[in-house]
Amino acid sequence: MPAAASVNLTSLSDHRRVLSLWRCIIVAGLLIFADLLVLSYFVLNAPSIAHNATLYKRAEASLGFSELGGLVLSALALFRYVNVKNKYRERVFHQFVADNGWTPKKKFDLGKVPSILLGAGEDYEQGYGFDGAYNGHAFNCLIFEYVATDSKTRRFMCMSFKLPKPYPMIIMDNRRNDHKLRRYGSDLPDRIPNGVELTLEGYFNKYYRISTTKGDEQETLEVLTPEFMAALEDHVGDKVDVEISDKRLFLIYEADYYSEQNVTSLFSTADIVLNKLSKLSKTWLASSKSQEAAVAKSAETARHKLIFRSDWISAVTFLIIFVTFIMLMISHIKTEQSCTQSDPCYPTPPQLYTGN
């Protein structure tokens, strides 16, 4: 069932329409100002007005007030737009959650946050979260933010589902999110530490960057069947990143807030991935409990490495800085000139003038 048919998006749609209305009024005011500005040039330079002082003053005043009116209209509309966009967010969010029978939640444990987002940045914060059920699957959703190395705050919508079987860690990074104007290419912070990037047949690598843990390449290929990849290619425009790890499925969308577009994109991608993994789970690792345990352990180990990777990087950085400082001090001591009686290290005190 399509996401738009099973999720009530009325509150988000209404919010979008109201914002669109105020955007149109802002543009209309600016167009009025620009049109009157051009018109004033031709009107005030017309011979019949330019050579008549009375008409010129009236036309100048009328056009000037009209131009000012266009700017005032845009300014007031902009003020209202910002007010509706920011101050109505919480009200729209709670209405959206209530319309779907879900439960708002302020804080989730880190198990509800994708591993790949926990491997970068600092000062983690959560906001506007909720949990509920979607087509028979329990899920959680939250806004997750962190401060990146460039001191900029990055926010992601994170949706998580519990899977019936463990899977290796697989990161499907949607290339549509690559940002050429940023220092980093992808919207995701980094790849799996000590992982491998897979090259797959067809055009799938053109749309997604696939990473997994070393030793789990074969299992990853068993998950990414041609049918599954074709379905994801059809929805590459949704710009959703996917992380599969142990018994967790994470869907990631870089955004500041919930909107009709990003919510629909997340649930549309959830339909595809859940449908695939639900079918696969019936036969996945069914003949080997030891292999199932090994896959689960591999995914959990990779997650732990991602969570604490920033701490290891910080520790190594501090150690390098400390060692560099010590080496500079030792080098300074070795190159410092020795003090002797004939060449003291301090300047000779000046002689006092005695008048002789």
Residue 28 reports pLDDT greater than 80: yes
Arithmetic mean of pLDDT, 59-80? 90
Average pLDDT over residues 64-73: 90
Closest CA to 88 of 14, 184, 145: 14
Predicted confidence (pLDDT) per residue in 150-205, tens digit: 678 888 999 999 998 889 989 999 998 876 544 445 556 556 767 888 888 888 99
Residues 6+ apart with CB under 8 A from 335: none
Residue 228, pLDDT score: 93
Q: What percent of the chain has pLDDT over 90?
A: 38
- What's the CA dihedral at 286, 290, 296, 299 to 10 degrees? -120
At 306, which amino acid appears? Answer: L
pLDDT number for residue 104 = 94
Q: DSSP labels for 306-325?
A: HHHHHHHHHHHHHHHHHHHH
pTM here is: 0.75
Least confident of 16-25, 194-203, 302-311: 302-311
User: How far is the C-alpha of 94 from the C-alpha of 99, rounded, in Å?
Assistant: 8
Q: What is the separation of C-alpha 166 from the centre of its chain, rounded to a whole number of angstroms?
A: 27
**Which of 89-93, 198-202, 238-242, 273-277 shows the lowest mean pLDDT across its residues?**
198-202
The domain segmentation of the chain, as residue ranges, is 3-94, 103-305
